[in-house]
């Protein structure tokens, strides 16, 4: 039976801005009930108002890097929604610093937010999905998790890690009705580069040129929603340059990394 969005309750983390906000508005517009999460309750409430049939959506603010807050958020979401059909793990932070200029503390921070926080929340939600006999877990990875490049060493490693973890989860729980999808965004017009961590842990504070010229968050959300409802599991949403890089990588990784070295894309 084909799933319809109007029958789904979807929990989206990192929903206060960027692609999380765009996904919330898009999926709500298709009829889904959305649980919106992020750290800023005021921004989440503003996104909720942008969503179609705003009164039916739920705001659950929390800091995903905090273990106790994550547990309480899960209990709150479960109590208010009664069930969760999909979990879209979108919260995260990027990086803009060379490996030799990045402290271990910052690398651990990136891994904690972009990997451990995602798996932690997923483990909380999965038992309910298994009991339901159905559910979908969506991991927002990155093209950076498929192709290593300058200034994103730890970020790319975390996104590659969450990709592999999701692949294993799919293999382990498919027979229990659990679907798992990986989405790999390329450059998307959001504040991701402005909020990206530099080598000492401070935010970069500026917009990258490549990010500024990327796909819009709205276009990303449209493509993602169509792919997810069709049951696609490996979803690349990116511009032509990123897609070309992935094709070159399949044919000749050494040639790709020669191009990456020469490009110096930040």
Positions marked catalytic = 155
Phi-psi region of 104 (alpha: psi -120 to 50; beta: other; left: phi over 0): alpha
Q: Which DSSP symbol is given to 214?
A: S
Q: Which of 75, 86, 84 is nearest to 128 (CA)?
A: 84
Distance CA(14)–CA(64), nearest Å, equals 9
Residue position matching structure tokens 């409802």: 229
3-state DSSP helix/strand/coil % of the chain, to nearest 5: 55, 15, 30
Q: Which of 53, 56, 162, 43 is nearest to 113 (CA)?
A: 162
Q: Beta-carbon neighbour count of residue 64 at 10 Å?
A: 24
Q: Beta-carbon neighbour count of residue 174 at 10 Å?
A: 12
What length is written for the chain? 266
In a 10 Å sphere around its CB, with 0-12 CB exposed, 13-18 middle and 19+ buried, how is residue 68 labelled? exposed
Q: Dihedrals φ, ψ of 235, to 5°?
A: -120, 110
How many alpha carbons fall within 13 Å on the CB side of residue 214?
Answer: 26
Q: Dihedrals φ, ψ of 135, to 5°?
A: 160, 160
Q: Which DSSP symbol is given to 176?
A: G
């Amino acid at each position: 039976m084909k799933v319809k969005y109007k029958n789904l309750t979807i929990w989206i983390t990192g929903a206060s801005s960027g692609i999380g906000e765009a996904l919330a508005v898009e999926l709500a517009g298709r009829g889904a009930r959305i649980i919106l999460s992020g750290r800023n309750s005021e921004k989440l409430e503003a996104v909720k108002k942008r969503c179609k049939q705003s009164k039916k959506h739920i705001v659950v603010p929390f800091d995903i890097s905090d273990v106790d807050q994550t547990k309480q958020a899960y209990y709150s979401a479960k109590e208010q929604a009664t069930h969760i059909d999909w979990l879209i793990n979108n919260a995260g932070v990027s990086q803009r610093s060379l490996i030799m200029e990045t402290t271990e503390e910052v690398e651990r921070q990136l891994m904690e937010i972009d990997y451990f926080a995602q798996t932690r929340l997923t483990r909380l939600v999965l038992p309910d999905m298994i009991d339901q006999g159905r559910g979908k877990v969506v991991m927002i990875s990155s093209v950076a998790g498929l192709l290593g490049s300058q200034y994103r060493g730890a970020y790319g490693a975390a996104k590659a890690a969450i990709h592999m973890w999701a692949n294993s989860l799919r293999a382990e729980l498919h027979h229990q009705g659990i679907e798992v999808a990986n989405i790999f965004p390329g450059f998307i017009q959001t504040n991701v580069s402005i909020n990206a961590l530099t080598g000492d842990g401070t935010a970069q504070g500026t917009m990258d040129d490549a990010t500024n010229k990327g796909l819009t968050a709205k276009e990303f959300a449209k493509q993602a929603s169509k792919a997810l409802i069709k049951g696609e599991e490996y979803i690349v949403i990116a511009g032509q340059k990123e897609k070309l890089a992935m094709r070159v990588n399949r044919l000749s990784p050494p040639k790709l990394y020669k191009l990456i070295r020469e490009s110096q894309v930040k």
